[in-house]
């Protein structure tokens, strides 16, 4: 089993989850204090999110807006970096579970930020492109550039149209800025790179559900931004909602359709989830409710800062805007308050100092709502560049960004149009293939059982026992669910046989209804499949324990494959006995092989 290898000292330990603006600022301000700081992030770098769109549109390289966390804190002995993912908070023990082991804390700060919100639309989640990380920005860049390569070689006019068009959903700052950047690429860069393509037929569509762009900024800023975008050729559709997307066509709520192979989703965010907090501490958008000291409601030593924190203030009764400045100010004040704890000084409540909002649309075009005045055009653009440049971590990074901006401005060109391809799937590792295949096998088991359940119409069928020594389908469901929850909760970091499990109870006949049994079934499979989907090739050789017995992850998966297959087989066998002649076969029916084969070959010939 893995271990975080953190030395226990006399210092109080503050664990910070997340190295974004809030967590990063907090860690920096607490460096060289009498706290032991553990900064946990799934990446080994801090990224400057406001400029991700420039990576996506080939204006900047990823390293220009990313800075290694260890480089930043290499001279501070009280700060420890751990690259890990947190799966659960165990508040009553002052512990968190991670994929590198259990970590204890005296104070915990949650700064995990937000993720793209698709508002429950699974098709959009699968087909649309988000832009919340450097990796996602690079994927978007690769997709856009590869689409133009493909457009050169297709003879289908409609297909070429889809490859060239780009739809951006959400006209907040991100949507406006990326739309402007794409429009400038269309005007200044792409015609030189792809002279065989007619870029008069390429369209950048900006869709917004609200009545205006930049809806959170002033009306004058909104009107100016809209004017700039239209001048650049962006097609703006307001009061417009996306209903569906299949990867080729964007279907709108009014029944119209846009042909586009690329859809960038910038229409909203939702807080990243973390298990273990009380349900009443979480708001509808997964933001965590905090008081004016950033302390989470119902806890004395757990805090939240930044986009994930929902703090009510007189000027902000629905919480602060999810912006970098809020996160930085909260991180800064929380650091001061934690220092005051050491000095037995009173804590200060948080009050957000609004420094204004800005958005750039393109060359010499920006809007700025500042505290005492509003600007647009060239001067707003200069201020926007200066503020963003000075906010980037590291002198070298600022210099690289400035050089790139200066070069782009003088030459009307962007020099970073590289398509960075991943390894071909045909060359994927044997380990990855094993993982994908194993997940597929388990899903097939689940489907087989659920097709069986659909044939059982009443509760009595689930409790049928051929004899007193045999288990009913209800008991098997209880056992499988109990096993899955025990084995696969914190799978890599805790023993598979949890102390909270009552295995004997799983084999006791009771009077649960079909609905209750299905709820238990779904709960077990959710824990199981959620865990499987977090595993990667490197995890397969890690060691876990089940009742103290050491197994590799590969061995544990193989063992569960046999175990679950055995019980699914029992379920099907019992159901066949119950239904008798009414049983509908789940595979090729008895004495129907020849008929099935003829049908298969006839369909193949067609």
> Which residues form the catalytic set?
177
Cα-to-chain-centroid distance, residue 278? 22
Give the whole-angstrom CA distance, residue 168 versus residue 215: 16
Are 86 and 272 in contact, with CB atoms under 8 Å apart? no
Are 337 and 348 in contact, with CB atoms under 8 Å apart? yes
DSSP H helices in 103-260: 122-127, 134-153, 157-164, 173-184, 190-193, 219-231
The CA-atom distances, in angstroms, between 343 and each of 34, 144, 267, 340, 381 are: 11, 54, 44, 5, 44
Residues 6+ apart with CB under 8 A from 433: none
| DSSP symbols for 28-91 | HHHTTSSEEEEEEESSSEEE-GGGHHHHHTTSS-GGGGEEEHHHHTTT-TTEEEEE--EEEEEG
Three-class secondary structure assignment of 3-24? CCCCCCCCCEEEEEECCCHHHH
Count of other CB atoms within 10 angstroms of residue 104: 16
Give the whole-angstrom CA distance, residue 245 versus residue 124: 6
3-state secondary structure of 533: helix
Give the whole-angstrom CA distance, residue 18 versus residue 305: 10
Q: How open is the CA angle 385-129-86, to the nearest 5 degrees?
A: 85
Which of 79, 81, 83, 102 shows the shortest CA–CA distance to 1? 102
Cα-to-chain-centroid distance, residue 497? 30
Give the whole-angstrom CA distance, residue 306 versus residue 325: 9
Residues 6+ apart with CB under 8 A from 110: 17, 18, 274, 288, 296, 302, 303, 304, 305, 308
Are 270 and 114 in contact, with CB atoms under 8 Å apart? yes
Exposure string for 171-184, b = 16+ CB within 10 A, e = fewer: bbbbbbbbbbbbbb
Give the whole-angstrom CA distance, residue 323 versus residue 266: 14
Three-class secondary structure assignment of 149-166? HHHHHCCCHHHHHHHHCE
Cα-to-chain-centroid distance, residue 7? 31
Are 64 and 400 in contact, with CB atoms under 8 Å apart? yes
Give the CA radius of gyration of the chain: 28
């Amino acid at each position: 089993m893995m271990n975080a290898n953190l030395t226990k000292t006399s210092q109080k330990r503050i664990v910070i989850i997340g190295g974004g603006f809030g967590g990063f600022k907090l860690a920096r301000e607490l460096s060289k204090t009498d706290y032991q700081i553990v900064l946990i992030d799934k990446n080994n770098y801090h990224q400057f999110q406001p400029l991700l769109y420039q990576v996506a549109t080939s204006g900047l390289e990823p390293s220009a807006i990313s800075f290694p966390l260890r480089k930043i804190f290499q001279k501070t002995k009280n700060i420890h970096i751990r690259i890990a993912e947190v799966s659960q908070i165990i508040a009553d023990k002052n512990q968190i579970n991670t994929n590198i082991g259990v970590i204890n804390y005296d104070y915990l700060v949650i700064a995990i930020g937000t993720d793209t919100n698709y508002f429950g639309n699974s098709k959009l989640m699968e087909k649309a492109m988000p832009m919340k990380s450097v990796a996602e920005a690079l994927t978007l860049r690769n997709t856009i550039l590869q689409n133009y390569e493909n457009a050169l070689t297709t003879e289908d006019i409609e297909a070429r149209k889809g490859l060239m068009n780009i739809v951006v959903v959400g006209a907040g700052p991100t949507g406006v800025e990326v739309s402007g950047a794409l429009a400038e690429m269309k005007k200044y860069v792409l015609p030189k790179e792809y002279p065989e393509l007619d870029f008069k037929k390429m369209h950048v569509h900006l869709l917004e559900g609200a009545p205006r762009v930049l809806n959170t900024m002033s009306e004058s800023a909104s009107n100016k931004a809209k004017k700039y975008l239209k001048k650049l050729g962006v097609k703006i559709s307001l009061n417009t909602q996306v209903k569906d997307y299949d990867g080729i066509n964007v279907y709108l709520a009014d029944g119209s359709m846009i042909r586009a192979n690329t859809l960038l989703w910038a229409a909203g965010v939702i807080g990243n989830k973390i298990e273990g907090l009380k349900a009443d501490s979480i708001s509808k958008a997964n933001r965590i409710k905090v008081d004016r000291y950033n302390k989470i409601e119902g806890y004395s030593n757990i805090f939240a800062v930044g986009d994930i924190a929902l703090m009510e203030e007189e000027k902000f009764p629905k919480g602060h805007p999810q912006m970098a400045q809020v996160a930085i100010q909260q991180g800064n004040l929380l650091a001061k308050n934690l220092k005051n704890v050491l000095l037995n000084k009173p804590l200060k409540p948080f009050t957000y100092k609004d420094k204004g909002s800005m958005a750039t649309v393109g060359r010499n075009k920006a809007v700025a709502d500042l505290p005492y005045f509003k600007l647009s055009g060239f001067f707003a653009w200069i201020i926007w560049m200066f503020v963003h440049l000075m906010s980037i971590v590291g002198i070298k990074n600022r210099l690289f960004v400035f050089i790139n901006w200066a070069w782009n401005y003088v030459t009307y060109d962007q020099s970073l149009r590289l398509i960075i391809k991943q390894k071909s799937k045909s060359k994927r590792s044997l380990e990855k293939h094993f993982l994908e295949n194993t997940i597929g096998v388990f899903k097939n088991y689940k489907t087989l059982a659920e097709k069986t359940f659909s044939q059982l119409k009443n509760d009595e069928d689930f409790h049928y026992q051929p004899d007193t020594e045999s288990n009913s389908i209800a008991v098997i469901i209880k056992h499988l669910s109990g096993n899955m929850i025990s084995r696969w909760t914190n799978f890599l970091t805790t023993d598979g046989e949890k102390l909270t499990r009552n295995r004997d109870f799983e084999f006791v006949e009771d009077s649960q209804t079909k609905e209750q049994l299905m709820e238990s079934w779904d709960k077990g499979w959710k824990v199981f499949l959620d865990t499987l989907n977090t595993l990667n090739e490197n995890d397969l050789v890690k060691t876990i324990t089940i009742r103290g017995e050491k197994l590799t992850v590969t061995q544990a998966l193989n063992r569960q494959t046999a175990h679950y297959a055995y019980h699914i087989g029992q379920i099907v066998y019992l159901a066949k006995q119950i239904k008798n002649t009414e049983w509908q076969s789940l595979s090729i029916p008895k004495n129907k092989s020849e008929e099935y084969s003829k049908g298969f070959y006839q369909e193949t010939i067609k």
